[in-house]
Structure 1
Amino acid sequence: MPLPHIHAPRDYSHITEIPYCAVPLSYDEFLEKYLEPNIPVLIGPALTELWRARQEWVTAEGKPDFDRLRSQLCTQPVQVPVADCHFKDFSDQKRSTMDLGDFLDEWQGQSETHQPARTYLKDFHFVRSFPDYGAYETPEIFRDDWMNEFWTRRGDMDDDYRFVYCGGDGTFTPFHADVYRSYSWSANICGVKKWTLFPPGQEHLFQDSLHNTVYDIDSTENAKKFPNFDKAIKFVLFQNPGETLFVPSGWWHQVQNIGDTISINHNWCNGSNLDLLLESITSDLKDVERAIDHLKEMMDEQEWIETCQNMLLLNSGWDWATLWQMCTTIRDRILVQRTCGDSVIPESPTAIASTDPRRAPLFPPPLLSQQPSLDVTLKRLDTVLDYIRSTPSASWFLTHVKGISVDK
């Protein structure tokens, strides 16, 4: 079934460099110039200058203040996720956990002795671990954030997409596009990040016939394994302390830390990239179906649908139910805002209720001034929901496996 028309076609052919804005943008300017056309922008330090993290986590010399970080964050044991930048694990780096205090000790020791770093603290749910700390405020232009609004209101899990990254010189994140083809924003607290970004539509140049993708863009093996990779259009920029980069949906990128680096990052989505999310989940589902096609004859149709959705959730972190519940949760909130304005914001999620205590603080819904026309957004949401309703396998899965009514 062809995907519905939700968004105007995007064109990246006119981009010659990543724009830089020294002064923080208004929401309307950000929406028109960067969010809707899906174009990156680097924003100057004024956007983050009042953050507690920028004032307290960094010394006067611009280095991580290890003593203060330990005194503020290590009063009790905290396990943090880390990656080994010298150990490839499929398409990612080898992941593990360690105590935050131990990580800071190791990092400081390597920094002071100028040793090469290999341990990178990544995807640390800082707000969930320190809900009352107040390290930063989400900039207004990034507050139309459906992922964090929905995930922090889910009753069936305790999760969010608000992260802190810390690493020494040379630590890096391999070549990738962000989860769900979400947006991300990344603000440097200290250090410099080298970003290499690739506009969408070039995946055929860095994927082989089995859909394996380039791991490290600087590897000498790429010329043999991916002979067309050097034809891909790319942009290189250096993100300095205090600066914030908006990474649009579907832009592949690799990031390397230069010096000791701390950054704060959110993954997020909204109506401006809803079409790309739908395209991503249908593409991921096709990959799953192709990977287990040899098992299809052993199952009836309903078992096949459920198996594919279970594999999709395991491999990609979402399924039709996740997308449906996020869209309906946001739709319910928009209907209230359209009637009552900003005075009444619903707190109850559409997802399954739970009595489990939460650690991830709720992400506040955007104000009317921090999102596009509600009617435009509502139309986009309804288009996606109608598509899911009219897709027999998706409708059957939601109704018969998840117990979710898809009736209007």
Structure 2
Amino acid sequence: MFHATRDYSAIKEIPLLKSPPSYEEFRQHYLEPNTPVIIGSAMIQHWRARQEWVCPDTGKPNFDALREQLCQRTVKVPVADCQTRDFTDQKRSTMDMKDFLDEWETHSRANEHSRTYLKDFHFIRTFPEYGAYETPTIFCDDWMNEFWTRRMDMDDDYRFVYCGGHGTFTPFHADVYRSYSWSANICGVKKWTLFPPDQEHLFQDNHHNTVYDIDNVNPTQFPNFHKAERFTIYQQPGQTLFVPSGWWHQVQNIGDTISINHNWCNGSNLDLLLDSLSSDLKEVERELEHLKEMMEEGEWIETCQKVLLSNSGWDWSTLWHMCTAVRDRVLRQMNDGMIESPTFLDSTCTIFLQDGEEKQRTTPIFPAPLLSQQPPLELTLQRVNTVLDVIRKDPSARWYLVHVKMIPIDTK
């Protein structure tokens, strides 16, 4: 059902495909073995973002067009200060979009390094009608965005735009939930340094702190980091990089860059998501071990889940709800032969609850994959049911879902 092991030892370099592969080729050679690949510019050449956000003569961002198209109203965007560390991340704040573009262009014209990096910007949620790009076919089997954009308790997604000048960077990390990501370069060059999974012990010190910047590592604190295997690539304008699950990486912008990114998951890395959640929970339980004797068992379980949700952004109920939503959609496709289920797209999906009040959803729904954009439905159903059974058989997970979340987990 799942891979017993994934062998990365045979990887000598990250391949570059001039033309996008078929879905089945991509699934067989990259998704299932969990290995990275770069795809040439033909896949995104038709995007509006590639045609309108870039000056054709210089290849640099078209600042005038960006201001004209994106600054007709006040838009606040998330930015990071690349010169100020904040624990394992950079100091975050918000800026007016126009102010950011003005500052960025000033540094660009002066050939100066930038320190302000627009990142994790929910572009589609902010500009739902703009149509800057289309999700490539090989990335459409995306359970995170399929589920998150239909959640009834929040208005969110994992579709982002990044903009930054020369020298801006993202510190060393592995992606949220150990999800996949794909990153398409609209302009500029990105230097990626990627580390295959199962080397985390080389990245951490004795207190479980992780390397922050791979270019400035204290050899006394991290004496084994130099032993870690790595791959360095320079992603060119128009190219798209697939970053597999659990691959740690650091990204540096060379020149002025714009990129579009999705975090995502599906049945091919579902086992890795389960392992990630279990690992995060064990870390929480280790941190709260000193409180266990003072609590009843149920209180202890619920407290750990609350801390897990706060720290990692998910808990057992998140994974359960995502898997059951996908299971139900697959069953409808199998039974009805339908591409999508109308119940996934009806008007109730435009409303969500926040603090007990109904709110209007602003995030456009991410379409369910077509049959040609996903594995055989039977395989997906088997994998989802396997994970649901694992959760059912875990005593603490079962107690939490039944007694706290009131989920009838024995209903199939």
Normalising by the residue count of structure 1, what TM-score does the alignment of the two structures yield? 0.97
Q: How does 1:167-178 map to 2 (within 5 A)?
A: 167-178=164-175
Q: Write the distance in 1 (CA, Å) between the matches of 2:187 and 2:218.
A: 32
Counterpart among 91, 99, 104 of residue 102 in structure 1: 99
- 2:54–2:187: 8 Å Cα contact kept in structure 1? yes
**What is the aligned counterpart of 1:223 among 216, 219, 222?**
219
Residues 1:289 and 2:285 are matched in the alignment: yes
The count of aligned residue pairs is 403
Task: Show the 5 A alignment for 1:156-305.
Answer: 156-219=153-216, 221-305=217-301
| Cα shift at 1:6 | 3.0
Corresponding residue of 2:82: 85
Secondary structure of the 1:17 match is coil
What code does the residue aligned with 2:98 have?
G
Q: Is the 8 A contact 1:49 1:242 kept in 2?
A: yes
Aligned residue number for residue 370 of structure 1: 373
CA distance in 1, matches of 2:186, 2:203: 32
User: Which stretch shows the higher mean deviation, 261-270 or 106-115?
Assistant: 106-115
Cα distance in 1 for residues equivalent to 2:213 and 2:99: 28
CA distance in 2, matches of 1:291, 1:99: 39
Out of 142, 145, 154, which is 2:142 matched to? 145
CA shift for structure 1 position 223: 1.5
Q: Aligned to 2:343, what secondary structure does the other structure show?
A: coil
- CA deviation profile, 1:178-224 (whole Å, cap 9, x unmatched): 000000000000000000000001111111222211000000x4322
Residue type of the alignment partner of 1:168: G
Shift of residue 295 of structure 1? Answer: 1.4
Task: Provide the rounded CA distance (Å) in 2 between the counterparts of 1:134 and 1:9.
Answer: 40
Deviates most, 114-123 or 243-252: 114-123
When the two chains are superposed, the root-mean-square deviation of aligned CA atoms in Å is 1.4
SS of equivalent residue, structure 2 residue 360: coil
Question: In structure 2, what residue type is equivalent to 1:380?
Answer: R
C-alpha offsets along residues 286-337 of structure 1, whole Å, 9 cap, x if unaligned? 0001111111122111111010000000000000010000000000000011
Letter in 2 for 1:88: R
Q: Is the 8 A contact 1:119 1:171 kept in 2?
A: yes
Distance 2:378 2:231 in 1: 35
Tell me which of 363, 388, 394 is aligned to 1:385.
388
Q: What CA deviation, in whole Å up to 9, does each residue of 1:323-370 have, x standing for no partner?
A: 000000000000011122234424349999644201110000001110
Comparing 221-230 and 113-122, the one that deviates more: 221-230
1:105-120 correspondence to structure 2 within 5 Å: 105-120=102-117
Identity %: 69
Which residue does 2:54 correspond to in 1?
Answer: 58
Distance 1:21 1:228, change over 3 A: same
Residues 1:353 and 1:79: Cα distance change in structure 2 (over 3 Å): closer
After superposition, the C-alpha distances for 1:2-41 in whole angstroms (9 at most, x for unaligned) are: xxx7324210000000011001110010000000000000
Question: What residue identity is the alignment partner of 1:379?
Answer: Q
Matched, 1:30 2:33: no
1:115 to 1:343, Cα distance in 2 relative to 1, 3 A? closer
Find out whether 1:44 has 2:40 as its counterpart. Answer: yes
Secondary structure in 2 matching 1:88: strand
Deviations along 1:56-96, one digit per CA (max 9) or x if unpaired, are 00002101111110110011111111001001111111111
Whole-angstrom CA distance in 1 between matches of 2:46 and 2:193: 28
Is the 1:6–1:383 contact (alpha carbons within 8 Å) kept by the matching residues of 2? no
Structure 2 unaligned residues grouped into runs of 5+: none
1:72 to 2:75 alignment: no
Output one character per residue of 1:225-282: Cα deviation in whole Å (capped at 9) or x when no partner.
Answer: 1111111110000000000000000000000000000000000000000000000000
Alpha-carbon separation, structure 2, partners of 1:380 and 1:403 = 24
CA pair 343-35 structure 1, distance change in 2 beyond 3 A: closer
Distance, in Å, in 2 between the alignment partners of 1:380 and 1:130 is 35
Moved more, 335-344 or 322-331: 335-344
- Corresponding letter in the other structure for 2:40: G
